[in-house]
Chains A and B, each alone.
Chain A
Amino acid sequence: SYVLTQPPSVSVAPGQTATISCGGDNIGGVHVHWYQHKSGQAPVLVVFDDYDRPSDIPERFSGSNSGNTATLTISRVEAGDEADYYCQVWHSGSAHRVFGGGTKLTVL
C-alpha cells in the first residue's frame, strides 16, 4: 500500500512561515491535496492539485510537489491557523484514497 509520511508536529511563531512536508514514493507523479482540520469541526480543503487554492482560502496558503516530497507552506502564520493538516492522494493502483498521518501545527 502507498504510504504518505508527515512530521507529527510543527511549531512556528505568529507572522513567521510554517512548512509541512508530505513524503511518498515518487509523489511528484500524482496530485496532492491538503486539508486543515480543527477539533470538532469539518475538515477544510486548503490546497488541491498540488498548488491550487479554493477561492475562499487566503493566498498565505501555498503548495508544491516534486520528486518524493510535497509541501504545504503557510506564510504570515496567524493564531487561527493552529490545526491538524493532512496531505492526501488518490492511489490509482489500489483504487484507494490515502491520507498522511497528519501534522499538528502549533502557533507559539
Chain B
Amino acid sequence: QVELVESGGGVVLPGTSQRLSCAASGFNFNLYALHWVRQAPGKGLEWVAVTSYDGTETYYADSVKGRFTISRDNSMNTLFLQMNSLRVEDTAIYFCAKDAVTHCGGNCYSDYWGQGTLLTVSS
C-alpha cells in the first residue's frame, strides 16, 4: 500500500535552515507529482510547493518563494523541502502528498498524504 513518511521536523531558531524529507513506498515514485502542504497551529491547510514527476517543474506559494526549495531523488524514492531563512510564521505541521498525475498542468489533486512532521520556529 502507499506510504509517505515525513521526517526532519523539530525546534529551530528564526533565520536558520532546515531540510524535511518524505520517504515514499508502495507506488511507482517517478511517475507522480508530489506536494508539500502545511498546517499552522489552529489554522487550515496551506499549499507550499509542488514538483513534477521528474523534478523539472516546480511551483511555490508566494509565502515561501525564494526561501524554500522542493526537490526529489527518484533513485531513493524521497521528496525533500529545503527551508532557509525560517520565520516564526513557518511553524506548522508539514505534510507530503502524492498527486494523481505526473505534473500539475490544468488540474491536480492528492490521493495520498503522510501523517506530517512538526516544525517549530521559535527563539
> Which residues of A pack against B, CB within 8 Å?
1, 30-31, 33, 35, 37, 40-45, 48-49, 54, 84, 86, 88, 90, 92, 95-102
Interface string of B70-93 (1 = CB under 8 A from A): 000000000000000000000000
> Which residues of B pack against A, CB within 8 Å?
4, 35, 37, 44-47, 50, 59, 61-62, 95, 97, 100, 104-116
Which of these, A1, A43, A97, A102, contacts B108 with CB under 8 Å?
Answer: A97
Contact between chains at A99 and B115 (CB < 8 Å): no
Contact between chains at B62 and A1 (CB < 8 Å): yes
Contact between chains at A97 and B115 (CB < 8 Å): no
Q: 16 extra interchain contacts, Cβ-Cβ under 8 A, other than A43-B97, A99-B37?
A: A31-B109, A42-B112, A42-B113, A43-B95, A43-B110, A48-B109, A86-B44, A96-B61, A96-B62, A97-B35, A97-B50, A97-B104, A97-B108, A99-B44, A99-B45, A99-B47
Contact between chains at B45 and A43 (CB < 8 Å): yes
Min CB gap A88→B, angstroms: 7
Q: What is the bound-complex CA distance between A97 and B46, given in angstroms?
A: 9
Q: Count A/B pairs, Cβ under 8 Å.
A: 67
Q: What is the bound-complex CA distance between A45 and B112, given in angstroms?
A: 7
Which residues on A sit within 8 Å (CB–CB) of B50? 97
Contact between chains at B106 and A92 (CB < 8 Å): yes
Q: What is the bound-complex CA distance between A30 and B77, given in angstroms?
A: 31
Q: What is the bound-complex CA distance between A100 and B47, given in angstroms?
A: 11
Given known contacts A1-B62, A42-B116, A99 and B111 CB-to-CB distance under 8 angstroms:
no
Q: What is the bound-complex CA distance between A30 and B108, given in angstroms?
A: 11
Contact between chains at B45 and A33 (CB < 8 Å): no
Contact between chains at B107 and A49 (CB < 8 Å): yes
